[in-house]
Structure 1
Amino acid sequence: MKTTPELKSLVVITGMSGSGKRTVHKAFEDIGYFCVDNLPTPLIPRLLEMSAVSGGKISQLAVVIDMRLGESTAGMKALFANLKQNLFRTAIIFVDASDDIIARRYSETRRVHPLAQHRSLTEGIQAERRKLSEIRAMADLVIDTTDFSVHDLRRLIYENFQQSEAADQLNVTIISFGFKHGLPFNSDLVFDVRFLPNPNFVPELKPLTGNDPEVCQYMSSCQETQEILAKIQDMLEYLLPRYSREGKSYLTIGIGCTGGRHRSVMLANELKQRLTREGRKINLIHRDLHLR
């Protein structure tokens, strides 16, 4: 496979059926990527050759690969290694969701799961997950859509892959969440801030969130809040350049409290502001803000 200098970015999208691959595909199309759906892997080199002679018309390419179509894991490993060696920027995205959510989506749409033709829906989902486990491990970015709306998913793609972003910049996403709703599936680092005073037990603050000034003032007045913010900031400022140097493309940081509405939201907002002041682009998701 020859290097294609005209191609600035190649994104390969794969993942579980029913996880939202088509939504991701459409989001890339919206931000100017040339998108191809369900492309057999042997045709990828040919597509790259076409982009090389497109006169710059195809500079950003997103390809959806359905890994259930007889693709071998060994073949995909070789392809991914070749792509990353020869292209300026390649990202492998695996879109995932919990088995329960995938089953619910199929039940709501009344579609038949591709691997549930002659077995139950649950068995089909589990069979696909086993088949894709090694492919998932190869991904640069795993997007768990279990708690995402369509708008959340599209916003995540917009924020991570806009053309204005530097090609070699580490993509940092901060997720606030509540431990009672489960850990963010794809977090690299998780900070537990449940030791901080809980605004939920202050009657006038309980109906508010960490986005409201009253909650921020309450949290900021606590010395431990300032201390943990400073310590997390120091740690991240140490780690981020080292992750970048090692070639890591994506970093997801979870900030968790009990319900994901007060403490974690306030701290996630503040951390984004502090890290952004250092010139970094930080994506922010409040996963459980509207849950009770």
Structure 2
Amino acid sequence: MTDPAPPATPPATPPAAPAHRIVLVTGLSGAGRSTAIRALEDLGYEVIDNLPLSLVPRLLEGAPQGPALALGIDTRNRDFSTNAFLELLDRLGSHGAELLYLECRPEVLLRRYSETRRRHPLAPAENPLVGIERDFDLLAPIRRRADVVIDTSEMSVHDTRAEVGHWFGNPEDNRLALSVHSFSYKRGLPRGLDMVFDCRFLRNPYWDPALRPLNGLSPDVAAHVAEDPRFPAFFDKVRDLAELLLPAYVEEGKSYLAIGFGCTGGQHRSVTMAERLGNTLAESGWQVSIRHRELERKNAGSRPAMQRGK
């Protein structure tokens, strides 16, 4: 008898951020600056957000000490100006400071502001597009000085955090950020998926009047889908494939992986599969976020991914 394959090795606990590293974080409003700051904090950086520019040099006086430092700089800072920021970069050159710049396409920024109904900080009483245009003009010279530019136009919050980790995490950190998505083929594939599985061959709870109003988060719906004779083999093979590939992707240095399950409406079968696989991998020690695109749309929200795992 062949010995069973060893379980997938979960990612190790991340080491501390590189000592004495200094990262300035700025970018277009709505492009993900706050997400990047939180990601750096999770990586072990000491984070100070919205510190007045005039105080930054005083903060760095003396010999480097303590953990890596991330400073969030926003155009809403009371003493912010393009020239002042550029002068600060020149003064910090001796400290080896790096500049991380978050950007996004104008049409995507406009959609984000429309969906959240937020006012743009540079145009609080005007159309958000006016503020977006002002932001581009104000920050263009700063962008040209950036050491790392991350375009979040096609990225989820999860993807942005993973990209920040790729650039600013400890080189010895071999974590893999994993996301599992459900979606409807009617609305097309979500961007950024690495692996996609079509669930439309499974029995559809939509045709059961009692199950139609529910979704794949319901135990009754999940049980109905799992009763399809083809379900156990399908799930087992997908799980085995994931557990085979995840350690290989870690070894290759891949920072994040997105797996998608699609069905006709994105409410039942794909949700069931995404939940089952996400929870199974989380129980194996992987850090997993689960996203249900159509359920999020139905709830009229862009709610954050549901995090699973340790």
Give the TM-score normalised by structure 2: 0.57
Aligned length: 252
The aligned residue for residue 87 of structure 1 is none
Name the CA distance, whole Å, in 1 between partners of 2:188 and 2:280. Answer: 26
The aligned residue for residue 191 of structure 1 is 197
Q: Read off the aligned partner of 2:282 and give its amino acid letter.
A: T
Write out per-residue CA displacement over residues 244-282 of structure 1, whole angstroms, 9 at most, x where no aligned residue: 111111112222223322111110111123323433222
Match 1:6 to one of 19, 22, 25? 19
The aligned residue for residue 34 of structure 1 is 46
| 3-state SS, counterpart of residue 204 of structure 1 | coil
Name the CA distance, whole Å, in 2 between partners of 1:63 and 1:16. Answer: 12
| 3-state SS, counterpart of residue 258 of structure 2 | strand
| 3-state SS, counterpart of residue 288 of structure 1 | helix
Mind listing any 5+ residue stretches in structure 1 that lack a counterpart?
Answer: 72-81, 84-89, 146-152
| 3-state SS, counterpart of residue 289 of structure 1 | helix
Name the CA distance, whole Å, in 1 between partners of 2:213 and 2:62. Answer: 53
Distance 1:30 1:170, change over 3 A: closer
The aligned residue for residue 253 of structure 2 is 247
| 3-state SS, counterpart of residue 295 of structure 2 | coil
Match 2:64 to one of 24, 40, 53? 53
RMSD: 5.3
Question: Does the 8 Å CA contact 1:176/1:285 hold for their aligned counterparts?
Answer: yes
Q: Which moved more, 1:180-189 or 1:209-218?
A: 180-189
Q: Read off the aligned partner of 1:254 and give its amino acid letter.
A: G
Give the TM-score normalised by structure 1: 0.60
When Rg is computed on C-alpha atoms for both structures, the one with the higher figure is 2
Match 1:144 to one of 151, 155, 161? 155
Name the CA distance, whole Å, in 2 between partners of 1:195 and 1:29. Answer: 43
Question: Does the 8 Å CA contact 1:94/1:142 hold for their aligned counterparts?
Answer: no
Identity, in percent, stands at 31
Distance 1:105 1:22, change over 3 A: farther
Name the CA distance, whole Å, in 2 between partners of 1:32 and 1:177. Answer: 34
Write out per-residue CA displacement over residues 221-249 of structure 1, whole angstroms, 9 at most, x where no aligned residue: 11222232122212212221111111111
Task: Spell out the pairing of 1:1-292 with structure 2 (5 A cutoff).
Answer: 5-6=18-19, 17-22=29-34, 24-25=36-37, 33-37=45-49, 53-54=64-65, 56=66, 58-59=67-68, 61=70, 98-102=108-112, 104=114, 108-109=118-119, 111-112=121-122, 121=130, 124=133, 139=150, 144-145=155-156, 167-292=173-298
Q: Read off the aligned partner of 1:243 and give its amino acid letter.
A: Y
Name the CA distance, whole Å, in 2 between partners of 1:51 and 1:282. Answer: 41
Mind listing any 5+ residue stretches in structure 2 that lack a counterpart?
Answer: 1-16, 76-81, 86-95, 166-171, 299-310
Using the TM superposition, give the Cα deviation of residue 214 of structure 1 relative to its aligned residue in structure 2, in angstroms: 0.7
Structure 1 outlier segments of 4+, above 6 Å:
9-12, 49-52, 140-143
Distance 1:170 1:65, change over 3 A: farther
| 3-state SS, counterpart of residue 223 of structure 1 | coil
| 3-state SS, counterpart of residue 221 of structure 2 | helix
Q: Read off the aligned partner of 1:53 and give its amino acid letter.
A: P
Question: Does the 8 Å CA contact 1:51/1:59 hold for their aligned counterparts?
Answer: no
Question: Does the 8 Å CA contact 1:19/1:102 hold for their aligned counterparts?
Answer: no
